[in-house]
Amino acid sequence: MSANSDSTGPVLRIGTRGSALALAQARWTQQQLEHHSPGLRTELVIITTSGDRFVDRPLSAIGGKGLFVKEIEEAMLDRRIDCAVHSMKDLPGELAPGLIVAAVPPREDPRDLAITRGPALAALPKGARLGTSSLRRMALMRALHPQFDIVPLRGNVDTRLRKLDSGDLDAIVLAAAGLRRLGITRDAAQPLDPLEFVPAIGQGALAIEARRDDVPPAVAAMNDAPTRITTDAERAFLLRVGGSCHTPLAAHGTLSGTQLHLRAVIASPDGSRVVRGERGAEGKDAAALGAALADELLGRGGDAILRALQAAT
């Protein structure tokens, strides 16, 4: 931690992106750290990432979600910050060497929400325009609702809602957790069944990243064991599949007592091929469960989807 100029003690520097949602998440983390560690002094350090700079192009065209963490990880390795708060679904399967997910706080609602301007999602007419920035959402929506016209939509939550309200779109899909953290409610928000519309890996969870050899004790104390177990299984699935930013993937874990259940998807971007599977195991075997389910889905057609995507890029 950095020494403060007024000699009142060190300050824990927390790295974050500057979007409204990222700041809401970082401020919540900051409050929790200070509440549970009396006397701890913290500072938010806003870092602009490559993903923030190129808002006019799909993530898959500029390098994927890892672009939301690259500059933040560099700041941590350079010791300009002591930890960082991320939406876990923004983290790539492998972190920069020397860094770890030091804590995973309790998870918010992991589901996706469909928000429409009028009729419910199922009542929208053929050709209705649905906006989303996620390859996973595009693939699953095309598979489940092929009658819609799926169009790319990037930007922060407010930008996406304005696109809907202006009439440019008939519906959008957002993460329930993001709206809750921003305090936004919409009467027309329809939760999508996570058994069918499987959430993104880590959706609804935060990840506090730190240097492997220098984890602040206050950060380590933020870890929520059930959330850590379920997201460890999801990220093990991601790592084993080895998917890129061009791969629509989903995995969602739930924990009942010590029993962990994992549901996952590998899909083609056009939704024509969707390989689904689920497995259970003891929570202590989270990483092995994620890897085993990845192997199963790869063997049942997921590998062919990945090869086709690699050949096309």
- Where are the alpha helices (H) located in 126-223, listed in sequence order? 135-144, 157-165, 176-182, 217-220
Q: Catalytic site residue 224?
A: no
Which is catalytic among the residues 90, 112, 170, 232?
A: 90
Q: Name the residue with tokens 């009142």.
A: 8
Strand partners, 37: none
Structure tokens that stand for 272 in this block:
């024509």
Q: What is the DSSP letter of 151?
A: E
Does an H or E element contain 210, and which?
strand 206-211
Category of 153 on φ-ψ map: left (φ > 0), alpha (ψ -120 to 50) or beta? beta
Pick from 58, 127, 173: which is nearest to 164 by CA? 173
- DSSP lists the bridge partners of residue 264 as 251, 277
Contact yes or no for 86/231 (Cβ under 8 A): no
Which candidate, 34, 65, 86, places its Cα nearest to that of 204? 86
- Which residues have a Cβ under 8 Å from the Cβ of 135 and sit 6 or more positions away? 60, 245, 246, 247, 248, 269
Place of tokens 């629509």: 248
Q: 75: helix, coil or strand?
A: helix
- Which residues are designated catalytic? 90
